[in-house]
Amino acid sequence: MHPAMNASSHTPPTASSSDITQHVETLAPRIAAAQSAISDIVLGQEKVIEQVLITILSGGHALLMGAPGLGKTLLVNTASTVLGLNASRIQFTPDLMPSDITGAEILEQDAEGRRSFRFLPGPIFGQLVLADEINRASPRTQSALLQAMAEHYITQAGKNYPLPKPFHVLATQNPVEQEGTYPLPEAQLDRFMLRITLDYPPRDAERLMLLQTTGAVQKQAEQIFTMNDLISAQQLVRQLPVGDRIVDAILALIRSLRPEDASSSQATRDAITYGPGPRAAQALMIATRARALLTGRLSPSLEDVAALAEPVLAHRIGLDFSARARGADISALVRQQIEAVL
């Protein structure tokens, strides 16, 4: 029996250990094949692809950070094809209205002259939505996306319209120093399970990209998963057992980054105005399970916690003014706490 499947592990009672093991053995090779299929199209971004898949397997949303032209749209389109999801894109601009995202009611007249309203769904009604340059829109428009991400439905004229299942948002944002940007409020940042950073690809990958994408025929992604396969994998993620050691490590790390907590260091108290909340701990717990499944393991390890702590926590922590003036870096603070706690 796997060492994590003992009496001290937190395993949901809905599935036996043997059922979970069999399900992992069946799904893990297909998840690996999906990851490989995306990597064949989106070159040189293996870590990003891994984190996007972790987000989707966890049932969450991700914030993509990076310079223009690094393949964010290609990543979303390729992932949607490989995973069997319907993709849509929203280009955020300062004049974008909430109804441009959610949809609107239109007045129709039938052949007999009777008039009625019909709801016309907006681009948010996709299973994998690219919200491009999200912080260029006004706070009012951002709040419409926030409700959809949090509640998985939108409200129009007093009626609730459920969004498709599964539903995931991959959002990009411009640097806050650029003109015409509206900083995302903490409540909306907290809705993103991971903040994923895209870097420039390695030289070999960029060379292959030049050869692969500038010819007469370009490589196309192939579908590996179906929507039902993905939903099944998402359910399996929440059934994977988590040992007490992992739970305690997550709690210790989260609480050490809260300046009000007794376990926090003086450096934390001097630099951080607010730390990650309980939703951050939940996100890290689920994400570690997803990473274990992605690599064909039955339960998460401390290495999973260390690998995912920064993308899960960095956007949920606020630096005070003096720390920003000193050039303090949130990611560096998180890494320090990882080394101290884990």
User: What is the model's pLDDT at position 176?
Assistant: 56
Query: What is the C-alpha to C-alpha distance for residues 83 and 54, in angstroms, rounded to an integer?
Result: 13
Is the pLDDT at 177 greater than 60? The verdict is: no
Mean pLDDT, residues 72-100: 91
Neighbouring-strand partners of residue 168: 128
Is the pLDDT at 1 greater than 60? The verdict is: no
Mean per-residue pLDDT over the chain, rounded: 87
pLDDT band at 141 (very low <50, low <70, confident <90, very high): confident
User: What is the model's pLDDT at position 248?
Assistant: 96
**3-state class (DSSP) for residue 313:** helix
Identity (one letter) of the amino acid at 156?
Q
pTM: 0.88
Residue 66 CB-density burial (10 A; 0-12 exposed, 13-18 middle, 19+ buried): middle
**In terms of pLDDT, which residue wins out, 146 or 239?**
239
DSSP class of residue 201 equals: P
Domains and CATH numbers, the chain: 13-239 (3.40.50.300), 240-342 (1.10.8.80)
CB count within 10 Å of CB 281 equals 18
Which of 147, 128, 137 shows the shortest CA–CA distance to 73? 128
User: What is the model's pLDDT at position 3?
Assistant: 41
Which of 8, 56, 7, 2 shows the shortest CA–CA distance to 31? 56
Is the pLDDT at 15 greater than 80? The verdict is: no
pLDDT band at 140 (very low <50, low <70, confident <90, very high): confident
User: What is the model's pLDDT at position 78?
Assistant: 94
Is the pLDDT at 80 greater than 90? The verdict is: yes
User: What is the model's pLDDT at position 297?
Assistant: 93
pLDDT band at 182 (very low <50, low <70, confident <90, very high): confident
Least reliable range by pLDDT among 10-14, 15-19, 135-139, 206-210: 10-14
Residue 267 CB-density burial (10 A; 0-12 exposed, 13-18 middle, 19+ buried): middle
User: What is the model's pLDDT at position 204?
Assistant: 93
Least reliable range by pLDDT among 157-161, 182-186, 209-213, 316-320: 182-186
